[in-house]
């Protein structure tokens, strides 16, 4: 059974757990089953900031490239955008952060990706991999996102 819990470093963000165990750090989430997303139950939702500074972003070929890793798995599959959120008003320097869910058209599994642009990479301390877009990198990490991301992803799979 999957659930989502608050991220300890920022209580406005949430992350997936399986049987109350965290997804290991540095893990890219390529093969999430749709039923696992649909089974997500929030844990500790009271007093939560639901949607702070995140907006829905346009589905486009360019945004799909920004969220698709330039890896063997990323290039070997056909992806469809399910959801993209963009951090609004991030800073005055042009920093961009995208949170996305991609549907693997062959397996119907979901990939959860975070993409940052070249400006954001300057202050990012963790590993990244190239995306299919020249100006963006994919964070090599589990998905940590605001509650609106998880709710909207469930809604898009249900309705």
Residue 1: the pLDDT is 72
Q: What is the mean pLDDT of the chain?
A: 88
What residues contact 159, with CB distance under 8 A and at least 6 apart?
Answer: none
- Per-residue pLDDT at 107: 96
Range name among 15-19, 39-43, 113-117 with the lowest pLDDT average: 39-43
Output the pTM of the full model.
0.90
Q: Which residue has the higher pLDDT, 150 or 93?
A: 150
What is the percent of the chain with per-residue pLDDT over 70, rounded to a whole number? Answer: 90
* pLDDT at residue 86, rounded to an integer: 95
**What is the rounded distance in angstroms from the CA atom of residue 159 to the CA atom of residue 156?**
6
Total count of domains within the chain: 1
Structural domain boundaries, residue 30:
2-158
Structure confidence by residue, pLDDT tens digits, 42-97: 655 555 566 678 999 999 999 999 999 999 999 999 999 999 999 876 777 788 99
- Report the pLDDT value the prediction gives residue 84, as an integer from 0 to 100: 98
Strand blocks (E) in 57-153: 79-87, 97-104, 110-117, 128-130, 136-139, 144-146
- Going by pLDDT thresholds of 50, 70 and 90, the confidence category of residue 7 is confident
């Amino acid at each position: 059974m999957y659930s989502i819990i608050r991220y300890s470093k920022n209580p406005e963000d949430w992350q997936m757990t399986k049987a109350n165990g965290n997804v290991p750090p540095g893990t890219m989430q390529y093969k999430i089953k749709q039923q696992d997303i649909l089974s997500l139950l929030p844990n500790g939702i009271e007093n939560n900031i639901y949607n702070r500074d995140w907006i829905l972003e346009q589905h486009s070929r360019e945004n799909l490239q920004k969220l698709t890793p330039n890896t063997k798995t990323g290039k070997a599959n056909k992806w469809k955008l399910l959801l993209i959120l963009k951090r609004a008003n991030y800073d005055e320097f042009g920093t961009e952060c995208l949170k996305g869910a991609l549907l693997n058209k062959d397996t119907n599994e979901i990939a959860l990706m975070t993409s940052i642009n070249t400006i954001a990479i300057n202050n990012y301390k963790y590993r990244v991999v190239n995306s299919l877009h020249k100006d963006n990198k994919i964070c090599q990490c589990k998905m940590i996102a605001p509650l609106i991301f998880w709710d909207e992803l469930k809604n898009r799979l249900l309705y």
